[in-house]
Amino acid sequence: MSFSILGTGSALPARTVSNDDLSEFLDTSDEWISSRTGIRTRHVLTDESLTQLAFSAAQAALEMAHTRPEELDCIICPTGAGDWYTPSTACVLQKKLGASCPAFDLNAACSGFLYALDVADGFFVRKKAKHILIVAVTGMSRLMNWQDRSTCVLFGDGSGAAVLGEGDALKYIDLTAEGSLAIQIPARAGVSPYDKYPYQSPGLWMDGKEVYRFAVRSICNGLQKASEATHIPLQKVDHFLLHQANQRILNSAAKKLGIPPEKIPTTIAETANTSGASVPILMDREVRAGHLHRGETVMLCAFGSGLTSGTAVLRWDLD
């Protein structure tokens, strides 16, 4: 006995920024961005906090799951950086929700939601939880170098959540990591009079070619391994919920695997890359649109900084 998904939720900042908006201060254009990434717009934080985004997504998921905050046994927040270095986003969210369970953050970048599912699975297998809330939240706009057109056009902000309960929807999950600085955001806090460390310039840096190759390889290897382990041919899978990093990445992987485009829903055109929140945001969109049905097979796959990846297979059982 492991878990089933009882409810999903998502939240995006109010401000939408189009590619044309970016072209007002960057040497870029809507055609340049959309033809290379599939992205048209993204949501960016203005006066909202990450905690507010996470709270909105959590509330939506709890409402769908008919679960009260006081029924939660654990809160896990996959995030690269919250509103504070400490306390954790999960602890702040716990207080805001009115829950009283253990709460912690998890940093696996864009693979964070898959890593959190695996951690949650351990709680259920050991019978230490009946309800777990996972809330992935990202504020990439506050971590970018907005003079670097090769990276700042790729990301957006958002939060995606899922409430897990006892069940047997999870059929397979696998995580990987390959230590690399191919995607990095240098950290710094405080000013020490003794600090002589040669800090890098702030903002995200990425080796685009290496990341692209890793992303396509991760999807192909992850889905093929999952298919072999579960004896479910990829042709029999109903839905593939993949990390929304770049439309070219998704198209390339789909072509290599022979997966029809209609089985790979996307939000990337309107949300851009929302890091660890992208898979639960996409899942929530699909649930609320009525596209996922009981008994269907759903494969999840994500990849990101670390370099990390995660793949899971669910037998969907949420009405």
pLDDT at 126 over 90: yes
pLDDT at 319 over 70: yes
On average, the pLDDT of the chain sits at: 95
- pLDDT value of residue 160: 98
- Domain final residue, candidates 152, 168, 184: 168
- pLDDT value of residue 136: 98
pLDDT at 259 over 70: yes
Same domain, 107 and 186: no
Same domain, 126 and 242: no
Nearest to 309 by CA among 159, 107, 110, 79: 110
| Amino acid at residue number 202 | P
Burial of 13: CB neighbours in 10 Å, binned 0-12, 13-18, 19+: buried
Same domain, 192 and 159: no
- Domain final residue, candidates 142, 168, 194: 168
For residue 157, the surrounding DSSP H or E stretch is strand 157-167
Determine the Cα–Cα distance for residues 310 and 114; give it in Å rounded to an integer: 5
- For residues 85 and 41, the model is more confident at 41
Beta bridge partners of residue 15, listed in sequence order: 44
Cα–Cα distances in Å, from 179 out to 112, 183, 202, 210, 306?
Answer: 15, 11, 21, 13, 6
Q: Rounded to 5 degrees, what are φ and ψ at 159?
A: -145, 140
Same domain, 227 and 118: no
Determine the Cα–Cα distance for residues 55 and 36; give it in Å rounded to an integer: 33
Determine the Cα–Cα distance for residues 41 and 43; give it in Å rounded to an integer: 7
- Listed in sequence order, the residues at least 6 apart from 201 whose beta carbon sits closer than 8 Å to its beta carbon are 145, 186
- For residues 142 and 319, the model is more confident at 142
Structure tokens at 198: 């040669």
Determine the Cα–Cα distance for residues 159 and 254; give it in Å rounded to an integer: 26
**Tens-digit pLDDT profile for residues 30-78:** 999 999 999 999 999 999 999 999 999 999 999 999 999 999 999 999 9
Total domains in the fold of the chain: 2
Contact 154, 269 (CB under 8 A): no
- Domain final residue, candidates 168, 189, 217: 168
Same domain, 121 and 74: yes
pLDDT at 211 over 80: yes
Same domain, 106 and 184: no
Structural domain for 258, as ranges: 173-315
Same domain, 161 and 204: no
CATH of the domain at 11: 3.40.47.10
Same domain, 153 and 180: no
pLDDT at 187 over 90: no
Q: Rounded to 5 degrees, what are φ and ψ at 198?
A: -80, 85
Same domain, 97 and 78: yes
Mean pLDDT, residues 257-285 taken together: 97
- Listed in sequence order, the residues at least 6 apart from 232 whose beta carbon sits closer than 8 Å to its beta carbon are 226, 297, 313
- pLDDT value of residue 1: 61
Determine the Cα–Cα distance for residues 300 and 265; give it in Å rounded to an integer: 12
pLDDT at 88 over 90: yes
| Amino acid at residue number 305 | S
Determine the Cα–Cα distance for residues 281 and 228; give it in Å rounded to an integer: 27
Same domain, 54 and 189: no
**Tens-digit pLDDT profile for residues 15-30:** 999 999 999 999 999 9
Mean pLDDT, residues 167-183 taken together: 94
The residues carrying an active-site annotation are: 110, 243, 273
Same domain, 197 and 159: no
pLDDT band at 186 (very low <50, low <70, confident <90, very high): confident
Same domain, 240 and 155: no
Chain centroid offset of residue 72 CA: 21
pLDDT at 265 over 80: yes
CB atoms within 10 A of CB 59: 16
DSSP state of 276: G
